[in-house]
Structure formats: structure tokens, C-alpha cells
């Protein structure tokens, strides 16, 4: 009897200390496939502008969202599971699932916040003429699917490439990635190249 009770108590302890189920989060306002197709049709096709004058500093990012929290920490909390923060709003523990490559991380230092449409790409497709304020809005956009927590090396491998030259390693994510990219370009009236549009069309066909 005593051994049975101990076994029950041990199983309860294991359950109570088990981590919360990992939830695959998604950024807000991802359009449906049909809506994304309509938005893609509405994007103006044009050659990319020059990189001349570009600097990441022209897109002030990780702005304060509230209190001591900035955009990066806000996305880490939004996209993570069981995230614990300190008094400075830094994520001290939690788990993050990276949909680009299917990896799971337990240290925030292994996670980057990806700008779905890279800042450099935006610069060359219309943002060069924006005010600094508008570029800051773009770089910290929590309303549209522009920011997502992903594996740091994957984000670094993507760099400033468009979907014509870089796609997420997980092919089943092509559909979602294309819908996010199209939505952001549509919201900000950014142009697409013919190769970019062709790649996005192909990715939407996987939906």
C-alpha cells in the first residue's frame, strides 16, 4: 500500500513539473490564401531600387512598447511558451518554436526576431522615400505579420533575401510565409520584382 501511494505521489510530481505544452504561435493578421492572392495581384511590379544610402539605423527598431519592454521582448513573449521575464522585461526562461526550421529553443539568446520583409528589401522597394517615423513603424510593426521569433542562424542565413532566393527550410511553411510577406508588402505599398512575384505565386500554390 505504501509503495502504491509513493508511486502515485511520484507521478503527480512528474505531472506538476512537466513543462507546458509547446504552442506554435503565429504573427497577427495573416490573410487567407484568397486574400493574399488578391493582394499579390495588386502589388506593383518594378525593379529594385539601389542600396545607396541604406543603413539599418534609418529604421529605428526595438522601440519601447510599454514600461521597460521593447519590441523584441514583446515578440519573444508573444511567440514563446511559459516565458518568464525579469524586472527589465528580458526573457530569462521559456521555450520558442521556430516555424522556419522546426527547431525548439529554451534560451532567448538562440532566437532572433526576423523582419519578414527585411529592412534592406523594403528600402529598395519603396522605403527609401519614407520618413524616419514611418520606417520605425515598419521595423516595429506588431499589428501585421512582419515580426516573428525564429532560430538565429536561420534568420542570419536569410539576411536581406527575398523569396525568389531564400525560403524557409520547412517547405510546409511556404504558404504561411508567402501570405505574411504579401500582407506586409501590401500594407506598406512596397513593390515586388517579377522574380519575387513568381516565387510568391508558386508558394501560394502550396496552400
R_g over Cα of the chain: 20
Q: What is the pTM of this model?
A: 0.90
* Distance, CA of 171 to CA of 164 (rounded, Å): 14
For 6, the enclosing helix (H) or strand (E) is helix 2-17
Distances (CA, A) of 79 to 143, 149, 156: 14, 6, 19
Q: Round the average pLDDT of the chain to a whole number and report it.
A: 92
pLDDT at 25: 81
Question: Is the distance from CB of 29 to CB of 179 less than 8 angstroms?
Answer: no
pLDDT band for 12, please (50, 70, 90 cuts): very low
Going by pLDDT thresholds of 50, 70 and 90, the confidence category of residue 13 is very low
Choice among 14-18, 46-50, 147-151, 172-176 with the minimum mean pLDDT: 14-18
Strand 64-66 with 111-115, pairing = unpaired
Q: What is the pLDDT of residues 70-120, one digit of tens each?
A: 999 999 999 999 999 999 999 999 999 999 999 999 999 999 999 999 999
Amino acid at each position: 500500500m505504501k509503495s502504491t501511494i509513493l508511486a502515485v505521489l511520484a507521478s503527480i510530481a512528474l505531472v506538476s513539473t512537466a513543462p507546458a505544452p509547446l504552442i506554435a504561435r503565429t504573427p497577427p493578421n495573416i490573410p487567407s490564401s484568397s486574400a493574399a492572392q488578391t493582394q499579390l495581384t495588386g502589388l506593383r511590379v518594378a525593379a529594385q531600387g539601389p542600396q545607396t544610402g541604406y543603413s539599418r539605423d534609418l529604421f529605428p527598431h526595438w522601440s519601447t512598447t510599454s514600461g521597460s519592454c521593447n519590441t523584441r521582448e514583446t515578440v519573444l513573449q508573444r511567440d514563446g511558451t511559459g516565458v518568464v521575464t525579469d524586472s527589465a522585461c528580458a526573457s530569462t526562461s521559456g521555450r520558442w518554436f521556430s516555424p522556419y526550421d522546426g527547431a525548439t529553443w529554451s534560451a532567448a539568446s538562440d532566437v532572433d526576431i526576423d523582419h519578414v520583409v527585411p529592412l534592406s528589401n523594403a528600402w529598395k522597394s519603396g522605403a527609401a522615400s519614407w520618413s524616419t517615423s514611418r520606417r520605425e513603424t515598419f521595423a516595429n510593426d506588431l499589428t501585421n505579420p512582419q515580426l516573428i521569433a525564429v532560430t538565429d542562424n536561420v534568420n542570419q542565413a536569410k539576411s536581406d533575401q527575398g523569396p525568389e532566393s531564400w525560403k524557409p527550410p520547412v517547405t510546409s511553411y511556404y504558404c504561411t510565409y508567402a501570405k505574411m510577406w504579401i500582407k506586409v508588402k501590401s500594407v506598406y505599398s512596397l513593390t515586388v520584382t517579377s522574380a519575387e512575384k513568381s516565387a510568391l505565386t508558386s508558394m501560394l500554390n502550396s496552400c
